[in-house]
Amino acid sequence: MEHIISLTLENKFGSLSRVAGLFSGRGFNIESLSVAPTLDPSVSMMTIVTSGDDRIIEQIMKQLNKVIDVIKVVDISENEFVERETALIKVHTRPEDRAEALRIADIFRASVLDSSPTSYTIEVTGDVRKVQAIIQLLQPLGIKELVRTGRIAIAREPTRHAQAQPRPLAKAN
């Protein structure tokens, strides 16, 4: 099963290779990986999409925790979360296809970043299904280049607190 793991790690030389090396050395899957610094420049956030049965995911979590540069590990996909991925798609467009390409971009609320007589560069952001869907639709036109950021995800805040809050207020009144 697919899992999205969120890592807080030291923003140090070699940290990325320690995490990546762990996955290759122990034969775990990485479907996508993205990493960037956080508000605290000494810390990076990494989002890893991986897959495996419960036993493998348990090992992945434990092994990641064991890496000394890793500060915190959370399996985001255990609870409610939102995820996004951005893709830049350079579509080859013959004159008769240009309108169709724009129409598809419009349907997916994607934007055109660059245009040349024979191509459009389209930016799309969404969950993984949306990104895959637009790629599928654009493919018949001819995709010249495709760059994806990999998926990033963040846990949803629990909604219960918001509902519970009015109660003490009502009491006070």
For residue 143, the minimal CB distance to another protein (Å) is 36
Find tokens 């697919």 and name the residue: 2
Q: Per CB under 8 A, which region of 16-24, 27-35, 80-88, 143-151 contacts another protein?
A: 16-24
Instruction: Give the footprint of another protein on residues 36-75 (CB under 8 A).
Output: 55, 58-59, 62-63, 65-71
Whichever of 17 and 111 has its CB closer to another protein, that residue is: 17
Would you say 66 or 94 has its CB closer to another protein? 66
For another protein, which is the closer residue by CB, 21 or 158? 21
Q: Which residue has the tokens 């605290």?
A: 40
List Cβ<8 Å contacts ≥24 apart for 19-23: 19/46, 19/48, 19/64, 19/67, 19/69, 19/70, 22/63, 22/64, 22/67, 23/48, 23/50, 23/60
Q: Which is nearer to another protein, 66 or 144 (CB)?
A: 66
Map the footprint of another protein across residues 70-129, applying CB under 8 A. 70-71
- Of 9, 49, 87, 105, the one binding another protein by CB under 8 A: 9
Q: What is the identity of the amino acid at 31?
A: E
Distance CA 62, CA 74 (A): 11
Q: How many residues bind another protein (CB under 8 A)?
A: 20
What is the full DSSP assignment across 53-109?
-HHHHHHHHHHHHHSTTEEEEEEGGGS-EEEEEEEEEEEE--GGGHHHHHHHHHHTT
**Can you give the binding site for another protein, defined by CB under 8 A?**
9-10, 13-14, 17-18, 21, 25, 55, 58-59, 62-63, 65-71
